[in-house]
Structure 1
Amino acid sequence: MKISNKEKTMLCVLGSIIVGFLYYQFIYLSQVDQLQQKVSEENELKQKYDTVMNTIKSMEDKKSDVKILNAKIGDEALPFYPTINQEKIIIELDELLEDNSLKGSVTFQPIVSNSVENSKKDEKSLAESSLQAIVDQYNHAFGDAEKTQQSDDKTVTNSTKSDTNNKDSNNNGASNTNDSNNSKESGNKDSKDAKKNTVQYLKCEVNFEGKYEDLDKFLNAIAQNKKKIVVNSINVNSDTLDGVKGKINLEFYSIPKINDELEGYLKLDLNENYGKSVPFGAGTAGDTSVSKTASSGQEEKEPSDFIALVKPTASDLPTITIGKAKDDLRTSYVYADSNSVENVEMLLTQDGDKYYYKYKTSKGTFPANYDGLGAEFVPTSKNMVLDILSRSRLDANDNSGMKLKIVNKTDKLLKVNITGEDSNSPRVTVEGDLNNVSVSNK
């Protein structure tokens, strides 16, 4: 059977169509599905890659946030004991008594872990003075009839209001009962929540005997102690002409620490300074620096109003810390941390005879509401003093520093004392009006 050329051409076209259809149906579509799957996998991998890269880029910020958070926790927990240890407390109380020339004995109660006790204040209306009737009669006798009439009007008005309130009270008795029940339920709930937040503390009774001046020194020593000791009550009896005796109830509170302070605190080496040294501030453990007094022939150092700390990023502490001096709870501290120069602003203002301060970094402000005047303070001397503790640079990659902008709108001079600065590459630069800001490097 002969096939013409036309038929051959038609058969070739038909074969091509069949082959194309089979390729499209069984090969091309499968390859397209595989390609789409690969593209989807590529997009997922790219998204994961971008997420990982963003996480890597934010690692420095997260490290800075962790350092700042650790510093805040450590600073606010610093005034409290890392644990309750009676042996250490006995040694501490014995030193306080001996240093202040008092004789005494200590009786401890069991260590407890409970919510902190709240003291409730009862409000009572004081009875009117018996002389008030005489004063009223005197005013009335001298023709103060208008005041008396006004007083009578007020009495009538108050009486009317009282009657109205009594009616409303009777009508709404059920509502008031419900409100009272709700209040009790709320109080019980708050009490349960308070029980959840417990703290470990120890109470003790110290019986003392000595001079009144020594007792006053003893109480001042407790107030200035680097660890917070609560004087709950004191009972003083006069024994002799120049002596007193009595008892003091003290409380010691402990907060678990996240650093290595506990290990150092529990050491009983009496020749060693205990605890983790405070980087700055009065009463630093191991701090041998003493203010120069006039008796030594040198000018006495003015006490600090504010303190700032500038450190390298290799430190466990943030690179920038600034706060109010003698702030035991560190509530006025703000921080920043980066291996670059941080911009810090400090604003001092005056309203009449009152002084206010506020400052901010890239990581925080004090007070939290930065729009107002700030927090009130009392300057410790005729001038205001800001002590800045800097540190020499570790290497060429150590770029941390502070650019401090000071705005002083008070009638006092702000003295800025910078110590420990790097002589070749200073970390601290201060900007401000030289008429009311004085900067010195020591």
Structure 2
Amino acid sequence: MIEIKVPELAESITEGTVASWLKQPGDHVEKGEAIVELETDKVNIEVPADESGTLDEQLAAEGDTVQVGQVIARLSSGSGGGTAIATKTKTEAATETAPAPAETKTEEVGEAKKVERREEHVASPGKGPIATPAARKLAREKGIDLSAIQTNDPIGRINVHDVTNHESKPAPAQAPQAPKAPAAAPQPAASGKDEERIKMTRRRQTIANRLVEVQQTAAMLTTFNEIDMSAVMALRKRRQEKFVKDNDVKLGFMSFFTKAAVAALKRMPYLNAEIQGNEIVLKKYYDIGIAVSAPDGLVVPVVREADRKNFGEIEKDILHLADKARNNKLGLSDLTGGTFTITNGGVFGSLLSTPILNGPQVAILGMHSIQLRPIAIDADTMENRPMMYVALSYDHRIVDGREAVTFLKHIKDMIEDPEQLLFEA
């Protein structure tokens, strides 16, 4: 028997949730083939089989919380095609090997014995139905009578999958009963409107807990500024065709803001830091997190060593990470270790917002929509310019207002004069 255990997930993650079983009892599994998908606080992980075999039983249901090292499934070793081969009885073996007058007669006898054994196991008052320990536990928790559960197992054994299927089937029609007391009936919402309850995913719960924790533990403030995007937009228009030809990716705004953020962080190092106890840890590397909206919630994959990469490399990294996020393919290594975060609510039409810190980082830059607004060029001239509001949220415990405002002013200056970025080390 081969045990499938919850693997080591990450240094700070000790448990996960069974998101979905990719194989069902009786399915043949090849070595390295995924059996179950686990949802953790950050990413989903597929657990593969260490050896080939047949999935014998599932020891956890979808939605269950499981711990690292916990056995969640068992495989029967060998290359058999299903549970029937792994669970043959001596009587079945004798039936298959004994001579018979005709092939059809042998099949009839074999099937009759299988049905007879199944009825015996299910209906025998002395023994009761056969079920795996996990199936018995699940049925007990859900108040389901094992004798009412149907199974396709050759010897009539009930497994977790059978219990789950039984639960999902509509209940049979019953004779009319006396009306129950009003207190026992489900109560409608006070408003009388339809409502739906949806259990929060583990990732959404983690996001919620961490955002609340940041607001409770950090002295968070936000400062704002606005940027004239005319120069960057003109530069992108002039260089886009050649940039795509050379890098096979479009030149977007994120690479400009990433390079500008790195340059500003070098001038204001306390924004590229974190607090550990009574110490401030200044980071001398620049791993920039880029917030991405994924199907299960916001994630922040990290562009590593952004200070050493050119515009093309940064754009490729962002595109690759965003694609992995939307397809739920991010690994833990993609999400850990960021030193500063950039989030762009402008892609959804946000004009102005206050970003929340991505702990344990102490600063986050928020970008917003570009809008044409009348801007005073001098005392006598007004022009419509493409303007963007930017916001910097920071932890006032180690970042003072002077540093935060100066940082944001550096961002503004470099975006409005993007040639400055060419001279930044």
TM-score (norm 1): 0.24
Q: Whose radius of gyration is greater, 1 or 2?
A: 1
